[in-house]
Chains A and B, each alone.
Chain A
Amino acid sequence: MPKSLPLSHLFLALALIGFFLVPYAWSDSRVIVGYCVLTAILAIMSYGVDMITSDLGEVSLGQALFLAAGTYGVGIGTTRLGLSPVATLALSIVVALALGAVLGFITLRVREFMFSLVTYCAAVVAHEVAYNLEFLGASEGILGIPSMELTLGPFSYVADTNLRLWPIVFLMLLLVLGLMALFRRSTLGAEALMSHLNPDLAESLGVNLRRTRLKVFLLSAPVTAVGGWLYAYQRNYVGPDVFEPYFIMLFLSAVILLGKRLLLGPLIGVALILFQERFLSLGGDGNKVFLGALLVVMLLALPRGALSLFRK
């Protein structure tokens, strides 16, 4: 493995640098800049799903809860509590971890499919709560979220356009990618993989299946929440639309599109799906059919991802 690292590292570095430069190269095109920013934000969210699905091998349908923790953390934090971006980030992460802990402990002893069902129901119920609770803005949501303003002493940086938000978004993307890489090389990543591929063998090798699931679930919470945090500042709006099935469909499709456990897999997946949605749109309902069909076709025909066509 050490011998082949340099080549894949080089590719990785070039791809990321290239991605970083695209909005600046096409800075006049709001469409392209917006596309890049949204791709990165949604990709960050999908990495939470990635570690649960590609590594742990389970399906968590409750990531919307963590997404919501991120967005509503900003919504409540800025409009009601006047918090700084760093503080809203902390708030978002804490709320996400709390939700994850509650769900995680409740589902600690249940089987895989029960875990998926409970997380699914949690998301639908959370939708109902967010839709009806005045405190969270009810169906209207929370409007007028200020743009992200970072201050250090006398200096302040206001990210009031997509282009100005881009460096922050990209930085968070790099951090998430770094976390994923470290996760996969850590004990937790190995144990997640072992529980996925052969639970009996994993157990006899000392892996505590339930605790591993809980830990990975808890790790995924802040990752998706960070995406939500950025999303709120990018849209200047927070609402119950984050609970719509679109997001989980996007995340799952992006994660399986290229193949499992590929570092840039979800990022490229999100980029491709978003590309279709923005530039080759079939209309709202048509896009739903397309995205659903993409997910189904991938799983039926190419369960190992598109790249399996190029492997043996």
Chain B
Amino acid sequence: MQLSYFLQLLLNGTVAGLGYALIAIGWTILLGMARLVNFAHGTMYMLAAFVTWYLMRMQGFEYLPAILVSCLVLAVLCIVMQHMMARQIQTQDLTSIMIITLGISYILTGAAGLFFGGTPQNIASPLRALRLTVGDVRLTGLDLTIILVTLIIYAAVWLVLRRSRIGAAMRALAEDGKLAQLYGINPALLLGGIFAFEGASVALAAGLIAPRAPILTTMGFQEVILTFVIVVIGGIGSVPGALVAGLAIGIFISFFSALVSSAFALSAVFATLLVFLVARPSGFGKGI
């Protein structure tokens, strides 16, 4: 293989992988800190993509404001979800929470179909027009943005968790809900913050990544799988683990799609997960 081809695949994989990691960060925090599984995550990604598209295409918004509004919408949606499931969250009824979020996911799929229709759409990000060349390797402004934003968000989350009072409270929340109060932070607000973060981060991810391909109201399932695989391999609750795992998976898919088959890339990823589960169920990072 030519070096330039190899490097291009590597770069594509890196961009895609960091993108997956950005999609996964909200879910990692939710699962690691609050021990909750949100099956609507992939559908929320789809919804955020469509909100962004709709604002840009139908309401004449610029790219960045559209993404910001979409982040707000999703954050609010997630907080609404949190309040709906307040009782189940308190009793740690994970079975019900899983089914409820699954139901919400289906509602969102139907609602998106009603509002946005069934035809594929495209988000026209102006960043894509920016073409850069590094040696023989090509990337767009959007690719660069994905890299930068993901690294910044991860660094920020990492710092907050490790260095701030909020972070300490969140880690205490993971251990025992009542302990969080020791840090003077209301656990209900903390939980709301975690949910809002999940919504906002997945919307941000959608705004940056969805422009790369057509969007459909039936999409979102692949994102759930990728997120899940990242979280498991990276270690449940491990922020750096998620970043590394995302990167690894992105690069894997890039090479696998180019050299073997793009249709079965996800299947290959899943097969890797299964092997992983048998060999090392607790992941690589320091989980909680």
Contact = CB atoms under 8 A, between A and B. Distances in A.
Interface stretch (A38-46, A113-121, A159-167): A113-121
Interface stretch (A5-13, A77-85, A124-132): A124-132
Interface in B125-139: none
Contact of B110 (A110, A124, A248, A292): A292
Interface string B242-276: 00000000000000000000011011001001100
Nearest to A303: B96
Interface residues of B, number: 41
Contacts of A292: 103-110
A120 B221 CA distance: 10
B95 interface: yes
B37 interface: yes
A288 B98 contact: no
B270 A245 contact: no
Given A58-B95, A292-B106, A117 B37 contact: yes
B278 interface: yes
Given A124-B222, A288-B113, A109 B281 contact: yes
Contacts of B225: 121, 124-125
A178 interface: no
Contact of B107 (A127, A132, A288): A288
Interface in B47-91: 84-85, 87-88
Interface in B110-160: 110-111, 113-114
A285 interface: yes
Interface string A239-264: 00000010011001000100000000
A259 to B, nearest CB: 15
Contact of B102 (A125, A295, A303): A295
A292 B277 CA distance: 31
Nearest to B39: A120
Given A121-B229, A299-B100, A288 B277 contact: no
B264 A132 contact: yes
A283 B118 CA distance: 13
A59 B224 CA distance: 17
Contact of A285 (B84, B111, B264): B111
Given A249-B102, A291-B106, A125 B95 contact: no
B221 A118 contact: no
A57 interface: yes
Interface of A: 53, 57-59, 61, 106-107, 109-110, 112-114, 116-118, 120-122, 124-125, 127-129, 131-132, 245, 248-249, 252, 256, 283-296, 299-300, 303
Interface of B: 37, 39, 84-85, 87-88, 94-96, 98-100, 102-111, 113-114, 221-222, 224-225, 228-229, 232, 263-264, 266-267, 270, 273-274, 277-278, 281
- Which 4 A/B pairs are nearest by Cβ-Cβ distance? A288-B110, A292-B106, A292-B107, A285-B113
8 contacts: A106-B278, A121-B273, A124-B221, A128-B263, A129-B267, A285-B111, A289-B106, A292-B109
